[in-house]
């Protein structure tokens, strides 16, 4: 009690004295999870799931009370971690460091603080998360919490508290702890906030915005009148569209406008009125390239039988949507937000037995599994139809199944009820090893981040294992009844496909080509021979309106090979392309397995004789073929011809862009003065591989072999 210290576990505390005196800690009938001494080593090794905190109070060491600010480390409650000392004390048992005996019907054990300190240091150095349950999940949560918040705005003239609450709740589920900020204007303040540059809305900086007013709100009425004069309807809808347009001019981020639908019963048909209002709205918004619509009628159809408007909430607080409809809209809005932010699934990895078909093919045989028009096989066939439609829209499909490979493939090929065929899958992992290993290998072969993989499996144990060991993978909780599988996939925000491009439609073929390339790689001893065998050709062109949509998509969704992860919008790209001191170059790649396609961007900023690579990004499909560094080698020669003398690059590390960290070093750059900075003189020397032809369309040059 006489240990005088202003820290809880540091120097001169009783815990430090115990360690100095080589004391033994004894537990009598208690768990080692009660061993407070361990907290000293958590503090000394600065474990990331704790943070410092100061507690102020008064102490009396025998000379009277005096104030003290006590420094201690406490667990970060936002991480929702649970301590688990089992790995530590299991290691001490293995080392023979724990002594024990039975005494009066209980167990007495002891350990030396010296041994405890040594093993804590060893384990925490190797893995600072080792003393929390589900360490990889908690580590991921910590990474997410360190990010800048996702910022969504919901915009309307009524009370939007219920909708913002549902958006926050859905965001908690889809973001898994990542910070979120949702903004809505005060009642009746939408117009003021849009036009005031200093308003909370204008300073919020929403990444995605949603206009949510109903036709009743636009007309400022409680009930719709089918005899409403056409002029009044047109004036009201056009005024609303003018607000949307004015807001769209203040942001280059996506703006979604919810269309109109009948949400309340009416004595006379109001369908024609709503149809005309939607026609007027579409005409008024035409030409606003960052503005898109959300089909409210479709959301209502997916909603179910609950009330769409809660009359009590409407009469008391002017809340326009019921809680259940607000929840439906929140899922729809989050799907669109995730899509434009590049957070949706790009590959769905599915199990086979009791997922794509009913039954276990290894036990029931091909003739015994059920998939077709009759129950229960029709539920699985419906899931296959949904997956097929997603594949057609650019979400690739793959298989991960514990099964006999030959038998499983025969079932896919031969069963008459199968909607999905072997060619619908870009890769298959069929065997008996852990699915966590198989999914990780599949992701590596396809060169796709785990965060863009969605895993479907009827087995809750397999789902739990993937959540534990591959926490970045999206793992929805499938219902017990397979009839709900298809709806779960359809309603998931992670399967939303917005603004489907030709590149999206070709994605399945691209991933399949990637799998063929990886198989071909194994047949060559020298990497350069393998690269040359692919017949790769690169085309570099200036940004045009025709390639603008793809360029914006690449900026939004490319994560692995993206040196700075700057999410340039369409307006920013257009400004950079038009400015005299910058260039936006679109990179297209074709080879013997895939037709030519736009797969990358290089954004350059010029300052006299020095050029800086503002952004360099490539689709994962072309990584690992020498294009990455080869293109930079070509670029130095091009800049030399333009009179430049030095080129600089920058790598801003993120948790997902590991593949691009060494690209500048690989292209002959040397470290610059700041963190992540690289530079090299422009001497006109081509330093790329001889087998990579690059066609320069920026100055109508002939093919150059660099």
pLDDT at residue 702 is higher than 50: no
Asked which of 138-142, 510-514, 675-679 is least confident by mean pLDDT, the reply is 510-514
Q: Evaluate whether 668 touches 648 at the Cβ level (below 8 Å).
A: no
When the pLDDT of each residue in the chain is averaged and rounded to a whole number, the result is 89
What is the three-class DSSP state of 306? coil
Instruction: Please return the burial class of 452, using the count of CB atoms within 10 Å of its CB with bins 0-12, 13-18 and 19+.
Output: buried
Q: What is the pLDDT of residue 395?
A: 92
CATH code for the domain defined by 150-340: 3.40.50.1110
CA–CA gap between residue 157 and residue 578 (Å, rounded): 38
CB neighbourhood size of 642 (10 A)? 12
Query: Could you tell me the CATH superfamily of domain 523-705?
Result: Gcn5-related N-acetyltransferase (GNAT) (3.40.630.30)
Q: Where are the domains of the chain?
A: 14-139, 150-340, 347-505, 523-705
Q: What is the pLDDT of residue 304?
A: 66
pLDDT at residue 688 is higher than 70: no
CATH code for the domain defined by 347-505: 3.40.50.1000
- Which of 494, 558, 193 minimizes the C-alpha distance to 348? 494
Who has greater pLDDT, 36 or 178?
36
Using one digit for the tens of pLDDT, what is the confidence trace for 261-282? 999 888 889 999 999 999 999 9
What is the three-class DSSP state of 540? strand
Report the side by side order of strands in the sheet with 106-112: 24-28, 106-112, 98-103
Q: What is the pLDDT of residue 502?
A: 66
pLDDT at residue 687 is higher than 60: no
pLDDT at residue 705 is higher than 50: no
Who has greater pLDDT, 6 or 128?
128
CB contact burial 401-427 (16+ within 10 A = b; e otherwise): bbbeeeebeebbeebebbbbeeebbbb
Q: Evaluate whether 264 touches 218 at the Cβ level (below 8 Å).
A: no
Show the tokens assigned to 559: 């994560």
CB neighbourhood size of 431 (10 A)? 15
pLDDT at residue 140 is higher than 50: yes
Mean pLDDT calculated for residue range 458-486: 93
Cis peptide, bond prior to residue 376, ω within 30 of zero: yes
Please report, rounded to a whole number, the percentage of residues in the chain having pLDDT higher than 90.
63
- Could you report how far apart the first and last alpha carbons of the chain are, in Å? 75
CB neighbourhood size of 399 (10 A)? 25
Domains 150-340 and 347-505 are alike in CATH topology: yes
pTM over 0.85: no
């Amino acid at each position: 009690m006489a240990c005088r210290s202003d820290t809880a576990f540091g120097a001169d505390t009783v815990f430090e004295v115990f360690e100095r005196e080589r004391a033994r800690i004894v537990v009598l009938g208690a768990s080692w999870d009660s061993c407070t001494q361990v907290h000293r080593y958590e503090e000394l090794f600065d474990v990331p799931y704790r943070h410092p905190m100061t507690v102020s109070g008064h102490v009396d060491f025998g000379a009277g009370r005096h104030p003290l600010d006590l420094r201690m480390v406490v667990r970060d409650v936002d991480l929702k971690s649970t301590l688990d000392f089992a790995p530590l004390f299991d290691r001490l048992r293995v080392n023979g460091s724990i002594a024990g005996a039975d005494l009066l019907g209980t167990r007495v054990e002891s350990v030396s603080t010296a041994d405890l300190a040594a093993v804590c240091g060893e384990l925490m150095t190797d893995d600072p998360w080792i003393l929390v349950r589900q360490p990889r999940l908690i580590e991921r949560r910590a990474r997410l919490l360190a990010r800048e918040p996702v910022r969504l705005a919901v915009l309307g003239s009524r009370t939007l508290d219920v909708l913002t609450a549902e958006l926050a709740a859905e965001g908690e589920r889809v973001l898994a702890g990542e910070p979120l900020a949702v903004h809505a204007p005060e009642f009746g303040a939408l117009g003021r906030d849009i036009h005031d540059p200093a308003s909370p809305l204008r300073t919020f900086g929403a990444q995605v915005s949603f206009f949510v007013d109903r036709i009743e709100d636009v007309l400022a009425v409680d009930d719709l009148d089918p005899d409403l004069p056409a002029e009044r309807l047109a004036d009201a809808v056009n005024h609303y569209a003018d607000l949307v347009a004015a807001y769209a001019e203040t942001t280059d981020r996506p703006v979604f406008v919810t269309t109109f639908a009948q949400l309340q019963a009416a004595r006379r048909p109001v369908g024609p009125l709503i149809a005309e209002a939607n026609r007027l709205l579409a005409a008024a918004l035409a030409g606003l390239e960052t503005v898109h619509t959300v089909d409210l009628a479709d959301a209502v159809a997916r909603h179910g039988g609950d009330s769409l408007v809660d009359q009590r909430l409407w009469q008391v607080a002017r809340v326009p949507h019921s809680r259940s409809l607000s929840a439906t809209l929140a899922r729809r809005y989050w799907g669109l937000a995730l899509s434009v932010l590049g957070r949706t699934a790009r590959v769905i990895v599915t199990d086979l037995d009791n997922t794509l078909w009913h039954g276990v093919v290894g036990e029931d045989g091909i003739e015994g599994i059920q998939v077709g028009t009759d129950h229960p096989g029709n539920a699985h066939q419906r899931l296959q139809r949904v997956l097929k439609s997603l594949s057609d829209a650019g979400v690739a499909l793959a298989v991960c199944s514990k099964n006999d490979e030959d038998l499983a493939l025969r079932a896919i090929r031969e069963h008459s009820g199968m909607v999905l065929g072997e060619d619908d899958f870009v890769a298959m992992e069929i065997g008996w090893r852990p699915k966590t290993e198989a999914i990780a290998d599949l992701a590596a072969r396809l060169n796709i981040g785990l965060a863009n993989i969605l895993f479907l499996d009827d087995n809750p144990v397999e789902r739990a294992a993937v959540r534990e060991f591959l926490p970045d993978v999206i793992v929805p909780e499938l219902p017990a009844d397979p009839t709900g599988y298809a709806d779960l996939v359809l309603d998931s925000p992670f399967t939303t496909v917005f603004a489907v491009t030709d590149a999206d439609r070709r994605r399945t073929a691209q991933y399949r080509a990637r799998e063929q390339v990886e198989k071909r790689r194994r047949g060559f001893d020298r990497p350069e021979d393998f690269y040359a065998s692919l017949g790769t050709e690169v085309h570099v062109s200036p940004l045009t309106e025709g390639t603008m949509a793809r360029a914006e998509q690449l900026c939004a969704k490319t994560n692995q090979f993206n040196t700075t992860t700057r999410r340039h919008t369409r307006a920013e790209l257009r400004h950079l392309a038009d400015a005299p001191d910058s260039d936006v170059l679109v990179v297209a790649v074709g080879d013997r397995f895939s037709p030519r396609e736009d797969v990358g961007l290089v954004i350059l900023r010029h300052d006299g004789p020095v050029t800086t690579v503002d952004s360099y990004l490539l689709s994962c499909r072309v990584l690992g073929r020498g294009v990455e560094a080869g293109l930079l080698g070509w670029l130095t020669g091009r800049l030399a011809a333009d009179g430049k003398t030095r080129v600089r690059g920058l790598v801003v590390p993120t948790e997902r862009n590991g593949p691009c960290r060494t690209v500048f070093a690989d292209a002959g750059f040397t470290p610059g003065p700041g963190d992540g900075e690289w530079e090299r003189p422009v001497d006109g020397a081509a330093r790329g591989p001889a087998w990579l032809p690059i066609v320069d369309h920026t100055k109508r040059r002939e093919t150059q072999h660099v």
